[in-house]
Structure 1
Amino acid sequence: MPLLDTPVRLGIQIQPQHATYADIRDAVLRFEDMGVDILFNWDHFFPLYGDPDGAHFEAWTMLAAWAEQTERVEFGTLVNCNSYRNPDLQADMARTIDHISAKGGEGRFVFGTGSGWFERDYDEYGYEFGTAGSRLNDLGDGLARVTARWDALNPAPTRRIPILIGGQGEKKTLRLVARYADIWHSFVSPDEMARKLGVIETWAETEGRDVSGLIVSNELKDRDEALADAMFDAGARLFTLGINGPDYDADIVRQWLRWRDAKNGTAA
């Protein structure tokens, strides 16, 4: 651990704020055509920056549209908020989107999830905010129900839906990573990576789970290639980049696609 022979992949988070849905739809098509590996949105109800009351769209209904619109790219939420929806419902929604995206093969949906943190979402939509600890406990209970529901659904998902868990807390979050995740996403620095991976491995021993296939994911926004190189050397193989509307800058995406291809030895 980590999987150093895994190809580098680039995920673009199309932030669903300060844009029309036409802008978002066009960005999805453009970035899939450019060769991006994964497309993400986020699961909030209000903008996270800029005008706090600016234009914003809901995540899961958007993902169903992406499932139909796209042909190749994987997609999901970076990340779903476990608090907003019954876990069994989340599982069923994920299974349905998985099937919509399959188009004769396996589905392409990635179940990215987390415990939630943006208090305005909770207050204005009537959810109990609780504490960071209570939300993480709820996430653990929710993941157990999601995975159990996937085993019970008819029809079943087209594949074992990959689970991405975001966060870096060592007592609870990384234990959930060790128990459930196929992808661990964080914003940790390259210098922190080894220690965090060691914590995951220790929790995996407690959980009795093999995490040798875990994909390490990290964020590129406001970082340069030198830092991305350092994250690569530390074991990251999925790199995400959040970009804001309404323009959804394609030039920065091209830059990181070139970097990805150079790392994979496929540059033109």
Structure 2
Amino acid sequence: MFPAGTGPSANPAGERHERRIRSFQPRRSRVTANQRDALLRLWPKWGVEIDGDRRIDLDELFAPLPPGSPVVLEIGFGMGEATVRMAAADPGTGVLAADVHTPGQGNLLLSAEREGLSNVRVANGDAIILLREMLDPGSLAGIRVFFPDPWPKKRHHKRRIIQPEFVELAASRLAPGGLLHCATDWEPYAEQMLRVLTDCPALENTRPDGGFTPRPDFRPMTRFEQQGLAKGHVVRDLIFRRVP
């Protein structure tokens, strides 16, 4: 789709890692001219291929932020609306945003450039490989999983990303006190998330009552969320903290 070295790869990890049930489907839908231009110009500077072949030096990746600046991983960002707004509100925190949706990648790069942001990097590929192979234990200040695919059919529940194995891996990459923040508008999935997160001994619920968290002011409401609310969906936030 793009000349070598100028845009995201279709399958950056290739077949070098084990096959498993995926929680996502790569989406190579139509890219607008502006999105394509942003990918061609900005991917070599701000793009990260999730190839699983190296450990990422986060200080180097997020230069010119000061060494040791906090970094948050966002898994699945859609078109990047909330990502840009949260990055703009917290310019001292690096945001590593991972997705496989090419138009969304281009849109996020374009929006970050327009807003003059220097703290956003876009990762292309499987977030599980990114966490397991490319990020050091305790290296993240936060992980965000907003509105992942709920896979509503029972036979597809195994594809949901919030599973015990994923949560254990995610918790291991958080620094003590780091936050795992999930949100969904699918009530059965919200209940599963709460059970799985509560069962992880490395995490504690930031809610004293052990329940869901009201939407925090720092998580912007997106058009997707507004559409869900208009349909009568109930949005649930869950914020868990990595214990020492």
TM-score by length of 2: 0.39
TM-score by length of 1: 0.36
